[in-house]
Amino acid sequence: ILEQMQAGVSPVDFKKTKTIEDRREAIRYAVSLAQPHDIILVAGKGHETYQEIKGVKHHFDDREELRAAFE
Protein backbone atom coordinates (compact mmCIF):
# COMPACT_ATOMS: atom_id res chain seq x y z
CA ILE A 1 0.00 0.00 0.00
CA LEU A 2 2.83 2.41 0.82
CA GLU A 3 4.35 1.93 -2.62
CA GLN A 4 0.99 2.63 -4.27
CA MET A 5 0.63 5.84 -2.29
CA GLN A 6 4.18 6.94 -3.06
CA ALA A 7 3.66 6.30 -6.77
CA GLY A 8 1.01 9.03 -6.83
CA VAL A 9 3.36 11.72 -5.50
CA SER A 10 5.41 13.82 -7.90
CA PRO A 11 9.21 13.65 -7.52
CA VAL A 12 9.29 17.28 -6.37
CA ASP A 13 6.66 16.72 -3.68
CA PHE A 14 8.09 13.32 -2.72
CA LYS A 15 11.13 15.11 -1.29
CA LYS A 16 8.78 16.75 1.22
CA THR A 17 7.31 13.46 2.46
CA LYS A 18 8.26 11.12 5.26
CA THR A 19 7.36 7.45 5.02
CA ILE A 20 6.77 5.65 8.31
CA GLU A 21 5.81 2.00 7.96
CA ASP A 22 4.74 1.48 11.58
CA ARG A 23 1.18 2.84 11.87
CA ARG A 24 1.47 3.61 15.61
CA GLU A 25 4.72 5.50 15.05
CA ALA A 26 3.19 7.39 12.10
CA ILE A 27 0.20 8.50 14.18
CA ARG A 28 2.42 9.64 17.04
CA TYR A 29 4.69 11.50 14.60
CA ALA A 30 1.73 13.33 13.05
CA VAL A 31 0.45 14.31 16.49
CA SER A 32 3.89 15.55 17.53
CA LEU A 33 3.98 17.90 14.52
CA ALA A 34 0.43 19.20 14.89
CA GLN A 35 -0.13 22.81 15.85
CA PRO A 36 -3.32 24.34 17.27
CA HIS A 37 -6.14 24.28 14.68
CA ASP A 38 -4.36 21.67 12.52
CA ILE A 39 -6.27 18.66 11.24
CA ILE A 40 -4.78 15.18 11.40
CA LEU A 41 -6.33 12.73 8.95
CA VAL A 42 -5.80 9.06 9.77
CA ALA A 43 -7.20 7.20 6.79
CA GLY A 44 -7.53 3.68 5.55
CA LYS A 45 -8.83 1.39 8.31
CA GLY A 46 -12.33 2.69 8.93
CA HIS A 47 -14.13 0.67 11.58
CA GLU A 48 -11.49 -2.07 11.84
CA THR A 49 -9.98 -2.58 15.29
CA TYR A 50 -7.14 -4.75 14.08
CA GLN A 51 -4.14 -4.53 11.82
CA GLU A 52 -3.27 -7.50 9.66
CA ILE A 53 0.45 -8.14 9.28
CA LYS A 54 1.60 -11.11 7.20
CA GLY A 55 -1.79 -12.78 7.57
CA VAL A 56 -1.97 -12.36 11.36
CA LYS A 57 -4.54 -10.00 12.90
CA HIS A 58 -3.30 -7.83 15.78
CA HIS A 59 -5.50 -5.57 17.91
CA PHE A 60 -5.05 -2.02 16.68
CA ASP A 61 -7.59 0.77 16.94
CA ASP A 62 -6.71 4.13 15.37
CA ARG A 63 -8.97 5.93 17.85
CA GLU A 64 -7.15 4.40 20.82
CA GLU A 65 -3.78 5.29 19.30
CA LEU A 66 -4.82 8.90 18.69
CA ARG A 67 -6.08 9.27 22.26
CA ALA A 68 -2.82 7.83 23.62
CA ALA A 69 -0.71 10.08 21.39
CA PHE A 70 -2.46 13.20 22.73
CA GLU A 71 -1.92 12.22 26.38
Helix H or strand E encompassing 26: helix 23-33
Q: Which residues does 3 contact at the CB level (< 8 Å), separation at least 6?
A: none
CA-derived radius of gyration, the chain? 14
pLDDT of residue 28: 97
pLDDT of residue 30: 96
pLDDT of residue 41: 93
17-62 per-position pLDDT tens digit: 999 999 999 999 999 999 999 999 998 787 889 988 899 999 999 9
Residue 61: C-alpha distances to residues 6, 14, 23, 33, 48 (Å): 24, 28, 10, 21, 7
Asked if pLDDT for residue 14 goes beyond 90, the answer is no
Asked whether 20 and 26 are in contact (CB, 8 A), the reply is: yes
Q: Domain-by-domain residue ranges, the chain? A: 2-70
Asked if pLDDT for residue 67 goes beyond 80, the answer is yes
Asked if pLDDT for residue 1 goes beyond 90, the answer is no
